[in-house]
Amino acid sequence: MENGEIPENANEHCPGPQSDSAGKSDACEGCPNQQICATAPKGPDPDVVAIAERMATVKHKILVLSGKGGVGKSTFSAQLAFALAAMDFQVGLLDIDICGPSIPKMLGLEGQEIHQSNLGWSPVYVESNLGVMSIGFMLPEPDDAVIWRGPRKNALIKQFLRDVYWGELDFLVVDAPPGTSDEHISIVQCLDAGSIDGAIIVTTPQQVSLIDVRKEVSFCKKVGVQVLGIVENMSGLCQPVMDFKFLRMTEAGEQIDVTEWAREHLKERAPEFLSIIACTEVFDSSRGGAEKMCREMGVPFLGKVPLDPQLCKAAEEGRSCFVDQKCGVSAPALKKVIDKMMENQGLSRMLVDNNA
């Protein structure tokens, strides 16, 4: 337990050997280190000091959270990082989803490795002003599972914060796993809640997601992290009519592809439809969705982003949705969300100064 590190054989919700409750809390019952922790002298964790020194060159730290998995949180984190980098900011993207790291793929960095320098671990760079760090770069094989208890996850997050040399950053975006567990507690404690600008929480309109987002908001309030806003992702399926596949159902229940016929029919009979974007609800939003929840909980609503197959494709291919017209439905919505977050936090001035 050198330097106050949590031992690998500790219980899952270990409070840490430097905590006042070390060896005394309910989480310590049955731990082989319980007696040592209870009697060991307490003091400030030297790693926290080292992390504070490392993070001193980072101007703004933004957490991206979600209550549920599969709501598009990592996609949003990746596109937020791409967008900020496109504004000529120096950006770092830290993936602390230890068991399910998606960021390397979504940034087009699969197969890359971490390199060591005399200054520490070097991030993997997408562009000269966009660096990425993830456990995904450390796995021997991409299919390898990370089967770790809380203490090992916490130790790696601490190591990321302490040992990665980001240099001067305008923004550090932290992509966290779903929920409110060890990783979230670790990142808040290690960064010190007061030095975090806040958290963006991603949800879908469905109630099963919003129920857990309420818990995420509650978590942020309890640990002193400001909620920068809620993003309602997958807010209806939207895409150009000509991108749809058209099917005809037979009496036997078989599907016949009539896409070519339908497109030709539209071209001949209703060419004005060719430029129309069709939208339909995927999740029931009759109860008001995220916007209503934000009013009830007193947190900002940043906006809605539709479910766009082209955005999904951009994430699969590891590219920005802002560089071409392919994501014509989702990219403007994402930009509006990001601009609103920047404006709400008084960060728009940074953009003006950056372009001066």
Is 321 annotated to bind ligand? no
Is 73 annotated to bind ligand? yes
Is 31 annotated to bind ligand? yes
Is 238 annotated to bind ligand? no
Q: Which domains does the chain have, with CATH numbers?
A: 1-43 (no CATH), 47-236+286-354 (3.40.50.300), 238-280 (no CATH)
State residue 161's pLDDT score: 96
Residue 254: exposure state from Cβ atoms within 10 A (0-12, 13-18, ≥19):
exposed
Is 72 annotated to bind ligand? yes
Is 312 annotated to bind ligand? no
pLDDT above 90 for 213: yes
Mean pLDDT, rounded, for 137-150? 91
> Which residues face 121 on adjacent strands?
116, 164
Contacts of 270 (CB under 8 A, 6+ apart): none
State residue 193's pLDDT score: 74
Is 71 annotated to bind ligand? yes
320-342 pLDDT, tens digit each: 999 988 899 999 999 999 999 99
| Mean confidence (pLDDT) of the chain | 90
**Which is more confident, 60 or 12?**
60
Distance CA 45, CA 50 (A): 9
Long-range CB contacts (< 8 A, 24+ apart) of 38-43?
40/1, 42/18, 43/4, 43/18
Mean pLDDT, rounded, for 289-295? 95
237-287 pLDDT, tens digit each: 998 888 889 999 999 999 999 999 999 999 999 888 888 888 888 888 777
State residue 44's pLDDT score: 64
Contacts of 199 (CB under 8 A, 6+ apart): 62, 63, 64, 65, 216, 220, 225, 226, 227, 228
Mean pLDDT, rounded, for 40-65? 86
pTM of the model: 0.85
Mean pLDDT, rounded, for 117-137? 96
64-113 pLDDT, tens digit each: 999 999 999 999 999 999 999 999 999 999 999 999 999 999 999 999 99
State residue 352's pLDDT score: 52
Q: Where are the alpha helices (DSSP H) in the chain?
A: 34-39, 46-55, 73-86, 103-106, 150-163, 182-191, 207-223, 259-269, 289-297, 309-317, 330-344, 348-355
Is 99 annotated to bind ligand? no
Distance CA 42, CA 58 (A): 29
State residue 356's pLDDT score: 55
Distance CA 161, CA 66 (A): 21
State residue 242's pLDDT score: 86
Is 181 annotated to bind ligand? no
Distance CA 335, CA 230 (A): 14
Mean pLDDT, rounded, for 159-172? 96
